[in-house]
Structure 1
C-alpha cells in the first residue's frame, strides 16, 4: 500500500509539472510503475498492425501512414506515428523492460519477451456489436477475446501457470472500442433508433467486461468515444457549408459515453477485486478542438493528409494525397484519426485523470 501511495505521488507530480510546461506527455515515469504488461483491445484507435494480417480493406500499411513512426515505416497503425497503446505503454513501463511500442498480437515475428510484456489485439473496423466487425472483416471483440485465450496459453508455456496468473491479474487492460458502433447508429444505417441501439451496444460492452474478468483481468481502463461530429470527415459530410460540428453525431457520442460510464460504475462492485475505470475521451478531445492555441495547434477542422476533408485509409496514400507542410500544427492526421502529437496530449490527460484510479 505504501509503495502504491509513493508511486501515486511521484506519478501525479511528474505529470502535472510536465503538462503545465509543455501540454504534452512526459518522456518517462518513475521506474516503480506496477503494471507488468499492457494488454489492448479495440478498434483503429488502438490497432498496432493486426489488420495487416487480415483480409480487410481497413488497412494503412502504406505511406504516408507511419511518416513519424520509427524510421518513417508504415506499420498498420492508423496515424502518422505512435497510437494510444504505444504511448501508454512507453510511459507506464519505464525500467521494466517492456518494449517502447506495443506489438500487434497477429505479428508472426513476436518473441517470448514481446508476449511477456503485452500485445494489442485491437483491429481497425471492429466494434462491440459483432455485426459491425463482420461487415468490415475486422477481428471482432469476441475474436479478440479468443486471441487473449491463446495468448494466456502461450504465457503458461513460457513462464508457467503461476507466473501467468500474476501477469494477467496485475496487467493494465486497455479497451478502446465504440468508434464504429456509434457512427453507424447516428447515420441511421441501422434499423434501430440511436437510443435503443446504443443500449444494445452497451449490453455487448458489459458482456465483454465480464468475460475479461473471467480471464483474470483485474485492472481495466475503458476509453469513451470521441465527439464524432467534430471529426473532419463528419464536418464535411454533415456540417453544412461552414463545416461546423455535426451535433447529431456529437449527441450520439455523448449518449453512448453516458451509458458506458454508468454501466462501468454499476458493474464494478459486482466484480470482486476489480477496478473498472472510464476515461472521458469526448471532452478531452473537444478541449483541444475548442482551445487549439493553448496546445499549439493551428488546424483542427481538417486532417493533414490530402485536402484533409474526407481522406482516410485508402484515400490517404502517397499517390493521391499531399501532406501538410507542418504536421505538428494539425490536430488530425487524416479525416478520422488524431495525429501522434494530439494523441500524446490526450494520453497525458488519461494518465493524469484515470490511471491513478487503477492503483
Structure 2
C-alpha cells in the first residue's frame, strides 16, 4: 500500500531505484514495492479519484493534493509495535498522528466544513499483519506461541480501528492476513531446499489471525456507528498461487526480479542479470510483493465483492 513514504526514512526497506517501477508510468521507481502500481493506487482509480495515490511524506505534496486521498502506509510496518522498530519504518500509531496532521491541514486551507465533508465520505483501508507474522514473530517467540501471537495481533488491529474511529473515520475496510507462507522468500527459507513448498505454520497463523479478527470487527460494526468491514484477501491470493494459469499467470513460486527466491528491496536491483522481461506472467514481482497485474486481479475481485458495502 506504500506509495513512497519509506523514501523519506532511514530504513533499508526502500525501493526507489530500478528495476522497481519498470512498468509504472514513465518507468519511474517511486518507492512502490512492485513493478508498477499498488492496491492503494488501483482502488483510488476504481473509485474515480486518481490513477496514483500520493505518499503523505512526499516532499512534493501540496494541500490541494490531499483532497482526493493519500496513503500513510509504510512498507515493513505492522500491528506489533516491535515490527516498526525492527524495520525502522513508520508505526501504525504514528500513522494516526499523520492522519491528525492531514485533517488539520485540510481544515486550515479549506475550512472545517470541507474537512468534515471529506471525512464523512472517505473510505479508510487498513492493511497490515504480514510483516508481523513473517518476521517479528520469530523475535517474539519467547513471549508468544503460534496461537497467542495471532490473537495478540488481532487485538492490536481492533484497538487501531477503534482509535481510527475516534478520529472520525466512519467507513473502515480492514484487510485480513494473506497466505504469507506462500511468498517466494518464505518458500526458499522455510519451505525445503528442493521442494520450496508453502510454509504451513505461517499460513496457519495467518488463518488464526483472520479467524479472530473477522468476528471482532463484526462486533465493532454492530457497536459503533458507520461501517466497519472485514475484507478476506487470504482465499483470493491463495487460489491465485495454487492455480496461476486460471488467472493468466505462468509463475507463482518465484518473483520476477533476479532469481525471484530471495531478492527484496536493495537485493532486487538493476544489476540482477536475470530479471524477467514479462512481469505480467508472474504473480510476484520480488520475493515478497505481487506484481501490478496480480494486484489488479486481487483488487478487481475484492472490490466487486465488498465495494458496494462501503460506498
TM-score interval w.r.t. the shorter chain? over 0.9
State the partner residue of 2:215.
262
Say if 2:83 and 2:136, in contact at 8 Å, map to a contact too: no
State whether structure 2 residue 287 is matched by structure 1 residue 332.
no
Q: 1:228 aligns with which of 170, 180, 186?
A: 180
Residues 223-265 of structure 1: per-residue CA shift (max 9 Å, x gap) = 1121111111111111112111111111111111111112111
Runs of 5+ unmatched residues, structure 1? 1-45
State the partner residue of 2:28.
73
Say if 1:61 and 1:74, in contact at 8 Å, map to a contact too: yes
| Correspondence list, 1:244-283, <5 A | 244-272=197-225, 274-283=226-235
Runs of 5+ unmatched residues, structure 2? none
State whether structure 2 residue 158 is matched by structure 1 residue 206.
yes
Moved more, 256-265 or 71-80: 256-265
State whether structure 2 residue 254 is matched by structure 1 residue 302.
yes
CA separation of 1:188 and 1:52: change in aligned 2, threshold 3 A: closer
Say if 2:19 and 2:35, in contact at 8 Å, map to a contact too: yes
State whether structure 2 residue 98 is matched by structure 1 residue 147.
yes
Residues 74-127 of structure 1: per-residue CA shift (max 9 Å, x gap) = 00000000001000001111xxxx332100000121122211111000001111
State the partner residue of 1:138.
89
- C-alpha distance in 2, partners of 1:266/1:289? 32
State the partner residue of 1:181.
132
Q: 1:156 aligns with which of 100, 107, 129?
A: 107
State the partner residue of 1:48.
3
SS at match of 2:304: helix
SS at match of 2:165: helix
- C-alpha distance in 1, partners of 2:134/2:250? 26
CA RMSD of aligned residues (A): 1.3
Moved more, 104-113 or 115-124: 104-113
CA separation of 1:321 and 1:144: change in aligned 2, threshold 3 A: farther
- C-alpha distance in 1, partners of 2:218/2:163? 17
Residues 324-350 of structure 1: per-residue CA shift (max 9 Å, x gap) = 122111111011000000000000011
State whether structure 2 residue 40 is matched by structure 1 residue 85.
yes
Q: 1:169 aligns with which of 117, 120, 123?
A: 120
- C-alpha distance in 2, partners of 1:139/1:230? 26
Moved more, 187-196 or 71-80: 187-196
Q: 1:197 aligns with which of 131, 149, 160?
A: 149
- C-alpha distance in 2, partners of 1:163/1:139? 28
Say if 1:185 and 1:194, in contact at 8 Å, map to a contact too: no
Divergent runs of 4+, >3 A = 184-189
- C-alpha distance in 1, partners of 2:66/2:247? 36
| TM-score for the superposition, normalised by structure 2 | 0.96
State whether structure 2 residue 126 is matched by structure 1 residue 126.
no
Residues 152-192 of structure 1: per-residue CA shift (max 9 Å, x gap) = 00000121111111111110101111111112365465321
Say if 2:10 and 2:88, in contact at 8 Å, map to a contact too: yes
